[in-house]
Amino acid sequence: MKNLLEIYARKKRDIAAIERVLEESVYSDHSLLREASVHLLKAGGKRIRPVFVLLSGEFGTYRLDTMQNVAVPLELIHMATLVHDDVIDDADTRRGQLTVRAKWDNRIAMYTGDYIFAKALGVVTRIPNPAVHQIMSKAIVEMCIGEMEQIRFFFETEQTIRDYLLRIKRKTALLIAISCQLGAMASGAPDRVSNRLYAFGYNVGMAFQIRDDILDLTGTEKQIGKPPGSDIKQGNITLPVLLALRQPELKDKLLAELARIHELDGQTDVSRFLGYIRGSDAIRQADALSQAYIDKAIAALETLPDMQAKKDLVEVAHFIGNRSY
């Protein structure tokens, strides 16, 4: 954690500049749109994607104004997906704050998400490289497919681990992967460098989401900023659950609990379900896969030049692999 804070401190000025541009980008003369967008922005977040853009940009000719034009739209895209996610999930809190849908309503949340998406497209037009636009638009399409697949698989206990991995690739890993790739591309780094950074970001992103899914089952509300078990209440069956369902002594108990949760549309206590998962070996197995992705991410950096940004990327990867919030 100390090393992560040092990385953020080293990039403090540039992160602050990105924060200012984010706020300028979501500004609207329409008071409700402005209020809802700023509410989401002020809820904060780790700004992991902008940090990946900035660090990857150091492998080429680093210019803050260029990096901003990549980091800001990527973070806006991420923010827009969060607003839409909260509508789908009926979520009242995120990071301990009221969601846009909870503070206003679902309609306001959906239009706020659409508005932020549109603002992201406006910022990215400042980048003259059409390849950047193509990569970003393709990623948004894949993210939408990932969200649709998540809905399709709600309460589907016969889904495979491969189904799950493909879904989180689209939902989470892809945006982190292109944050690294586009940061390098925008700085004029060679293709071999941007390709390595894409591989790094993809593997870190997979670990990030697996860790998120573990924390939803094992964390406290104070740690994760929302009630534990939120995923299963909506029917989102994640890796630890799939692994636990493979354990003969647990399978019938878990299936009975899932049927009950489904029948009650998630409006029920899930502590017994969480107890079964926490008492199984599934958490350790999921954690091992997360760590394997972190190891692959760090290996992807091996051929890159030895410089501070490379060391910082390794530190961020370790943080993601071990995070508890």
Instruction: Decide if pLDDT at 107 tops 90.
Output: no
Q: What is the mean pLDDT of residues 98-121?
A: 87
Q: What is the mean pLDDT of residues 31-60?
A: 88
DSSP H helical segments within the chain, as ranges? 2-10, 12-25, 31-42, 48-57, 64-89, 100-103, 106-124, 130-152, 161-168, 174-186, 191-218, 221-224, 230-234, 239-245, 248-263, 271-278, 282-300, 308-322
The confidence score (pLDDT) of residue 69 equals 94
Distance from first CA to last CA of the chain, Å, rounded? 12
Whether the CB-CB separation of 208 and 176 falls below 8 Å is answered with yes
> What CATH number is attached to the domain comprising 304?
1.10.600.10
Q: What is the mean pLDDT of residues 228-257?
A: 96
The confidence score (pLDDT) of residue 198 equals 98
Average pLDDT over the chain, rounded to whole? 91
Whether the CB-CB separation of 199 and 300 falls below 8 Å is answered with yes
Q: What is the mean pLDDT of residues 287-315?
A: 96
Residue with the larger pLDDT of the pair 324 and 209: 209
3/8 Cα distance (integer angstroms): 9
User: Which helix (H) or strand (E) is 129 found in, with range?
Assistant: none
Domain count, the chain: 1
This prediction has a pTM of 0.92
Q: For the range 299-305, what are the long-range contacts, defined as Cβ-Cβ under 8 Å and sequence gap of 24 or more?
A: 300/196, 300/197, 300/199, 300/200, 300/203, 301/196, 301/197, 301/200, 303/192, 303/196, 304/59, 304/193, 304/196, 304/197, 305/59
Contacts of 245 (CB under 8 A, 6+ apart): 157, 251, 254, 255
**76-86: pLDDT as tens digits:** 999 888 888 78
User: Which residue carries 């697996």 as its tokens?
Assistant: 210
The confidence score (pLDDT) of residue 294 equals 97
The confidence score (pLDDT) of residue 44 equals 66
> Residue 144: which domain range?
1-322
The confidence score (pLDDT) of residue 91 equals 75
Instruction: Decide if pLDDT at 158 tops 90.
Output: yes
Buried b / exposed e across 34-72, counting CB within 10 Å, b at 16+? ebbbebbbebeeebbbbbbbbbbbbbbebeeebbbbbbb
The confidence score (pLDDT) of residue 9 equals 87
Write the CA distances from 223 to 42, 83, 119, 228, integer angstroms: 19, 21, 31, 9
* Least confidently predicted of 7-11, 275-279, 280-284: 7-11
Return the CA Rg of the chain: 20
The confidence score (pLDDT) of residue 183 equals 96
The confidence score (pLDDT) of residue 2 equals 54
